[in-house]
């Protein structure tokens, strides 16, 4: 299993070229995996998913194992995936089509989700989180204790 080390939020700014700086704690996780390339793709939740190589390979294997009635999901995840490199300043260039899909213009919110990162338009994320917190928890969380 890939390193599940991505965690924590980060408020970021998308520059005019469409680049976002990778937070140091996430660069450290990537360095531990000797990863200089990342894969960015669409999420059905309106954000982008960012994977290091090992986690991406695992995700691709799971998506490819889906039955044919899930072909639209394969298109969403794999058909929109783009490989990018961290530049010398620790920035990642997000392709225009992916920025448009996620509504990324300036204020960006990055969230560590264990095996991957989510990249959100900050306002879209805040609205999503408020919606989540206003709804009853799903039954699958009944046994979760903290």
Q: Which letter does DSSP use for residue 119 in this model? A: E
Q: What is the value of pTM for the model shown? A: 0.91
- 73-80 contacts at long range (C-beta below 8 A, 24 or more positions apart): 73/44, 76/41, 76/42, 76/44, 77/41, 77/42, 77/49, 78/41, 80/41, 80/42
Domain ranges (residues) in the chain: 6-138
Q: What is the pLDDT of residues 59-102, one digit of tens each?
A: 999 999 999 999 999 999 999 999 999 999 999 999 999 999 99
Q: What is the pLDDT of residues 102-132, one digit of tens each?
A: 999 999 999 999 999 999 999 999 999 999 9
Q: CATH homologous superfamily of domain 6-138?
A: Transcriptional regulator MraZ domain (3.40.1550.20)
Would you put residue 107 in left (φ > 0), alpha (ψ -120 to 50) or beta?
beta
């Amino acid at each position: 299993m890939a390193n599940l080390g991505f965690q924590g939020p980060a408020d970021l700014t998308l520059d005019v070229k469409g680049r976002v700086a990778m937070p140091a704690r996430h660069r450290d996780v990537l360095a531990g995996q000797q990863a200089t390339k990342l894969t960015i793709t669409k999420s059905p939740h309106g954000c982008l998913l960012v994977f290091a190589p090992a986690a991406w390979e695992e995700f691709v294997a799971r998506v490819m194992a889906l039955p044919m009635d899930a072909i639209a999901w394969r298109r969403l995840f794999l058909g929109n995936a783009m490989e990018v490199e961290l530049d010398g300043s620790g920035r990642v260039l997000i392709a225009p089509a992916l920025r448009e899909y996620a509504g990324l213009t300036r204020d960006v919110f990055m969230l560590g989700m264990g095996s991957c990162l989510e990249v959100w338009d900050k306002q879209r994320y805040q609205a999503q989180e408020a919606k989540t917190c206003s709804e009853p928890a799903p039954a699958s969380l009944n046994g979760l204790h903290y």
